[in-house]
Amino acid sequence: MAEEKADSRSRILEAAAEIIGRERNLNFTIREVARRAEVNIASINYYFRSKKNLLGEIEKLLMERTRLIYADLGDESLSPRDRLIGWADELIKHLIEYPGIIYLIGTRILERESTFIGPYLNLLETELAPLVKKITGLDQNHLVSFKVIQLISGVVYPVLIFSSAENPGGIDIRNRTMRLEYINSLIESIKTAR
């Protein structure tokens, strides 16, 4: 019985994550989630109590999946540059697959709702900043933070543009060769103009 409950809850979360993550639909209905998860509406109310609570759980799920991408930043068998390239490549691929993550987090922040972005932001400081510091040679924390922001923006912005327009500027970040060329250019850009 406990396994069946966990399975229903998981199916609800996965269905809602698909609707938000892949389709960028924040205006989904509980009925739509129930249909996709093949559960009744009462199950959603039982597990989550409200659409707002369900959104919070979806955000946690999607942010956890995003956080896992940061694990490779600690792989000391790779150079700092290669770690950044691998991280950026995986994050862009993940955001292409689930662009709704950007919309969900952005909407919740703009509406001043609490979010689960805190642990993600901590990863920027603990995992990303040290690599940026090594690559740039900067030792002033605020300048390193500027470069981290530049790097994150450079990863997220193309996904935003790509998800709303086909091949903006002739760039197709779905193409791995082009994406890696872009990432290398992005990393070079943070090394210059201190």
Residues above pLDDT 90, as percent of the chain = 47
Read off the pLDDT of residues 53-111 as tens digits, 9 standing for 90 and up. Answer: 898 888 888 878 888 888 888 899 999 999 999 999 999 998 888 888 887 777 777 77
Q: Comparing 8-17, 67-76, 109-118, 182-191, which segment has the lowest mean pLDDT?
A: 109-118
Integer angstrom CA distances of residue 89 from 37, 58, 94: 31, 23, 9
Residue 123: is it exposed, middle or buried by C-beta count within 10 angstroms (0-12/13-18/19+)?
middle
Residue 103's pLDDT is: 79
**What's residue 159's pLDDT?**
86
pLDDT over 70 for what percent of the chain? 88
Question: Residue 190: what pLDDT?
Answer: 92
pLDDT in tens, 107-136: 777 777 666 676 777 778 888 999 999 999
186 within 8 A of 155, measured Cβ to Cβ: yes
Residue 4: per-residue pLDDT: 55
